Amino acid sequence: MSSSKIVFLDQTKMPTHYYNVMVDIPVPMDPPLHPGTKQPVGPHDLSAIFPMELIKQEVTQERFIEIPDEVRDLYKLSRPTPLIRATNLEKALQTPAKIFFKYEGANPTGSHKTNTSYAQAYYNKQAGIKKLVTETGAGQWGSALAMACKHFGMECEVFMVKVSYNQKPYRKTFMKLFGAEVHASPSILTNAGRNVLNKDPESPGSLGIAISEAIEMAVQRDDTNYSLGSVLNHVLLHQTIIGEEARIQMEMFDEYPDVVIGCVGGGSNFAGIAFPFLRDKLTGVKKNLKVIAVEPASCPSLTKGNYEYDFGDEAGMTPLLKMYTLGHNFIPPKIHAGGLRYHGAAPLISLLYNIGAINANAYEQMEVFQAAQLFAQTEGIVPAPESSHAIKETIVQALHCKETGERKTILFNLSGNGFLDLGSYEMFLKDQLDNYSGKTNYAKVAVV
């Protein structure tokens, strides 16, 4: 095994292809359904908001999809990202486990989201699109798309969930710095936003509401498309560059993970780290590999949701997706992991969970921030609150190894840094965070 704590990958060895997990899942995905007819959607139904190349990536049966050269060149601004062994955390926990993490927070936007923002902006630009409209939770995705749009000379408009808009003011500053127009959602700019505000003028917003507003705005111009930061197959596909790099880097460490961990809201960063390793489990090469999705206890779509068709947005404008969902009208509590405040899990992740290929756990806000503090103190990186859910699960797994004496190898995805979340950390240090225990009501879905 390498004696180094950090493994960097030479840019000449950066993966040239994304990995499509759909090919290796032993059961077919349930197709998305048209919101009006409830029949499977076709390419024409999606062409109003997506370019054809991304629509093709939603359904392709190719195992590997080539990354365009221009996108790979943009990735080289910060990729390949380092794989780091958390030796100080291991010592603090006194665990025999070996802990590794893939660090996605060193790029200009501070998170993994550029892996898909560059690709989506590229394909839209190739299709002649001049403007992209999107939603964002904590602002990581909005920041990534703003930066990508500026590179390609496109306009960018972002509906940012209101609670995060207020909690994380410098996220919107970053987006505006790159020329994006940013609105707190729900807003008075759309019918979807006005309808929510008429019912609850103090609504904190949700990703589902922000998606409704973004789609409504996008369909008003022929030169404008909608862009999504998570959930859909093509978005998860682009993120697999994370795990493809990690596979090479783990080999450089002469290691292979026993456990792979990622946090889940919609599921993009979890898919990015997990799918390339799940390839080995699904094809029988590593049958005992354990893959764990970690979510907030106050927004537990996998662990407490229903597996059924539901809308991806609050207003019911998206196709119906087969997923684990808390109901498209569910408004999550005001947790500071804004990127995980989504009512459903990606259909691909939901299917993998349903067939038992992955596991899921949920943790409350305070214990997640406690795990983040320990990680910051030992490894010197302030993690994003979203990523800290994966850190919490990693600590749980490592302490279990301490009890059993097992020398397992644990890999997790540190999907972003928390430097623009310091206001949240200040509240944590002042003991002003709420766990929201017992304050969550989940909606019944049954829309099909």
Yes or no: say if 231 and 141 are a contact pair by the CB < 8 Å rule.
no
Residues of the chain with pLDDT under 70: 1-4, 437-448
Cα 111 from Cα 55, distance rounded (Å): 25
Could you report the per-residue pLDDT of 305-344, keeping only the tens digit for each?
Answer: 999 999 998 888 889 999 999 999 888 888 887 788 889 9
- How far apart (Å, rounded) are the C-alpha atoms in residues 421 and 337? 9
pLDDT value of position 437: 64
Task: Determine the Cα angle at 317 with ends 311 and 323, to 5°.
Answer: 15
Pairing of strands 131-136, 155-161: parallel
Q: Name the phi and psi angles at 311, rounded to 5.
A: -75, 150
What CATH number was assigned to the domain covering residues 35-57+113-230? 3.40.50.1100
pLDDT value at residue 448: 55
Q: Specify whether the CB–CB gap between 385 and 132 falls below 8 A.
A: no
Q: What is the pLDDT of residue 338?
A: 78
| Amino acid type, 151 | H
Comparing CA positions, the residue from 106, 190, 107, 178 lying closest to residue 142 is 178
Residue 76 burial by CB count (10 A; 0-12/13-18/19+): exposed, middle or buried? Answer: exposed
Q: Which fold has domain 6-13+68-110+234-429?
A: Rossmann fold (3.40.50)
Identical topology for domains 6-13+68-110+234-429 and 35-57+113-230? yes
Instruction: Give the pLDDT of residue 77.
Output: 92
Cβ–Cβ < 8 Å for 99, 371 = no
Q: Which two tokens stand for residue 156?
A: 């960018």
CA-nearest of 279, 223, 229, 287 to 258 is 287
Q: Which residues pair with residue 66 across a beta bridge?
A: 17
* Residue 73: burial class (beta carbons within 10 Å; 0-12, 13-18, 19+): exposed
- Which pair of structure tokens corresponds to residue 282? 């699904």
Angstrom distances, CA of residue 4 to CA of 85, 88, 209, 246, 289? 8, 13, 46, 15, 25
Laid out side by side, the sheet with 290-296 consists of 6-7, 83-85, 98-103, 409-414, 259-263, 290-296, 359-363
Helical segments of 40-190, H only: 43-46, 52-59, 69-75, 87-93, 114-126, 140-152, 162-167, 169-177
User: For residues 135-157, b (16+ Cβ closer than 10 Å) or e, as one string?
Assistant: bbbbbbbbbbbbbbbbbbebbbb
| Residue that the structure tokens 């354990």 belong to | 290
Domain boundaries, the chain: 6-13+68-110+234-429, 35-57+113-230
Structure token pair of residue 54: 């991304």
DSSP 60: -
- Per-residue pLDDT tens over the stretch 113-129: 999 999 999 999 999 99
What is the pTM (predicted TM-score) of this model? 0.94
Handedness of CA 120, 122, 124, 129 (dihedral sign): positive
Peptide bond preceding 28 in cis form (omega within 30 of 0): no
pLDDT tens digits, one per residue of 35-45: 889 999 988 88
**279 DSSP β-pair partners:** none
- Token representation of residue 261: 């961990």
Q: How crowded is the C-beta side of 370, counted as CA atoms within 13 Å?
A: 10
Report residue 319 as tokens: 């196709």
Could you identify the residue written with the tokens 């505006």?
176
